[in-house]
Structure 1
């Protein structure tokens, strides 16, 4: 057993009561040209729990036929005292959830389910390497903003334009890299691959990848085959699949960290 395997991070899977909550839109803000931020509120959030940056909730939205469908989104932020839940929507080819977000206004209602559970990562993590596209920005934002003081974080995020860059408040030691490529090329791995070509993956570096499935797979393969990064120090997810509505690959070739 290698030292990387012996000292791999621990993963505690925390289950939450699965319930559906009826919430009200409190505010809608276009924070960048490609991102809409919606704050939801309601007393039904009194027992809401989200313990990990890449948790997922289910949003129940109408499709173009008026039927209710479910879509996965990251809880961007939660304020227990205010009973408010923030969700960021990447504006791309408008599926039902994106269409709902574009039309949303204060006072609208939305049903939210979950999260079903949280995968809480702990261990001797010295450095985080975060790689993703605009759909991963809500989770990346949480990773950055919830990090402990002094943790080294390097993030590479592909977005359509410089105007789509975001800023984050953090106690971590953050190095942020924005990669600009047209939204229509979000399934092309090359822009992100070129950006991470010379990245340092030293001991104690945990890598988190989330993007279109083909892109996430290509980056994962590069880090394993070219940089010899250990599987137990990595998680890759396809948050969406090009050409397939409501499709994802949440755990690409995952070797889970040892149980806590």
Structure 2
């Protein structure tokens, strides 16, 4: 039997089909023999890191194993990787569906716009955060365009009959088409769309709307996904205004408005910040909370 450390911790895939789902979402269906062993978590906000081919390459090169970690350890110019939600999994056909948010520019957007059948990708690391307690009686979801595919899958796969309120900031009302489709004729789903706010084009409305929302009675669960700074504010609102305990809310930063500046500052203090993150995990914080602890440390170091 192949040892788990020598079995590749990455998966190759090729584009099976593509289509424009909405004005700002491109659907890409991935296939290939490797996906038959892809460790899908079965959690509706599961995400995977996608690595794209470098110029002149049909597919990214394989990763190498170092210190029990798979990665591009020896590549001076490794392929670009980005995290994306898995919109759907078909284990029988070995297919994964990913809905790409289309922006004005960026490596993932450029790839998704021109992707054709047969184009290669490399997949690495599957993660998820949506973990409502068993007694959850209601859901509140808040997301921007980047978080919309996961929010849509949560609505589609939630426990039948659990009421859900969905707050979304989008560039275009038509971008919510898939969300409205999965919620069609379901009176337990309430969708509130705001257009032209957030998504890198000004302040978002999610934090204010969460603050003003009257949460239902009984035990529930809140899930927020979008810009990292906005998610930190949302977490504060859910904890301090609505008094939701740690296991009743999760807020996950999918992207950053100041990504280039953040990467530059992070690079200066990376060893110290990585230690802050590991210490937070060792102290019992979950990965999202540990990330917040690291963010706070970075802000102190760069004032």
Same fold (TM over 0.5): yes
Match of 2:165 among 134, 154, 159: 154
Decide which moves more: 170-179 or 68-77. Answer: 170-179
CA distance in 1, matches of 2:163, 2:112: 34
2:133–2:248 Cα contact (<8 Å) kept: no
Q: Provide the TM-score with structure 2 as the length reference.
A: 0.69
Q: Which residue in 1 is equivalent to 2:19?
A: 29
Q: Paired residue for 1:39?
A: 29
Bigger shift: 29-38 or 214-223?
214-223
Tell me whether 1:125 sits opposite 2:136 in the alignment: yes
Which of 240, 253, 269 does residue 238 from structure 1 map onto? 253
Comparing both chains, which one has the higher relative contact order based on Cα–Cα distances under 8 Å and sequence gaps of 6 or more?
1
Contact 2:132/2:221 (CA < 8 Å) preserved in 1? Answer: no
Aligned to 1:8: none
Listed as ranges, the matches of 1:8-27 within 5 Å are 19-27=9-17
Structure 1: how far apart are the matches of 2:17 and 2:119?
10
Aligned to 1:169: 182
Bigger helix fraction:
2
Q: Tell me, which stretches of 5 or more residues in structure 1 are unaligned?
A: 1-16, 256-260
Q: Which residue of 1 aligns with 2:96?
A: 85
Q: In structure 2, do the counterparts of structure 1 residues 107 and 183 end up closer, same or farther at CA, with 3 Å as the change threshold?
A: farther
Match of 1:199 among 213, 223, 227: 213
**How many matched pairs?**
238
Distance change >3 Å, CA 62–CA 182, structure 1 → 2: farther
Per residue, is there more strand in 1 or in 2? 1
Deviation at 1:197, TM superposition (A): 4.1
Give CA deviations for 1:88-140 in whole Å, capped at 9, x if unaligned. Answer: 11112422222111110112111212316777544201111101101001211
Is residue 223 from structure 1 mapped to residue 238 from structure 2 by the alignment? Answer: yes
* SS across alignment from 2:239: helix
Which of 13, 20, 42 is equivalent to 1:51?
A: 42
CA distance in 1: counterparts of 2:45 and 2:288, whole angstroms:
12
TM-score under structure 1 length normalisation: 0.80
**1:216 and 1:183, CA in 2 relative to 1: closer, same or farther beyond 3 A?**
closer
Secondary structure of the corresponding residue to residue 257 of structure 2: coil
Q: Residues 147-171 of structure 1: CA distance to partner in whole angstroms, max 9, x if unpaired?
A: 1211111110110121222224257
Contact 1:235 1:254 in 2 (8 A): no
Q: Note if contact 2:152-2:182 (Cα within 8 Å) is conserved in structure 1.
A: no
CA contact (8 A) 1:133 1:210 kept: yes
Q: Quick one: distance in 2 between partners of 1:117 and 1:209?
A: 13
Aligned alpha-carbon RMSD (Å): 3.0
Structure 1 distance, partners of 2:47, 2:181, is 21
- Residue 253 of structure 1: CA displacement? 6.8
Bigger mean CA offset, 219-228 vs 232-241: 219-228
Return the offset for 1:55: 1.7
Could you tell me which residue of structure 1 aligns to residue 288 of structure 2?
251
1:116 and 1:243 map into 2 onto residues whose CA distance is 24
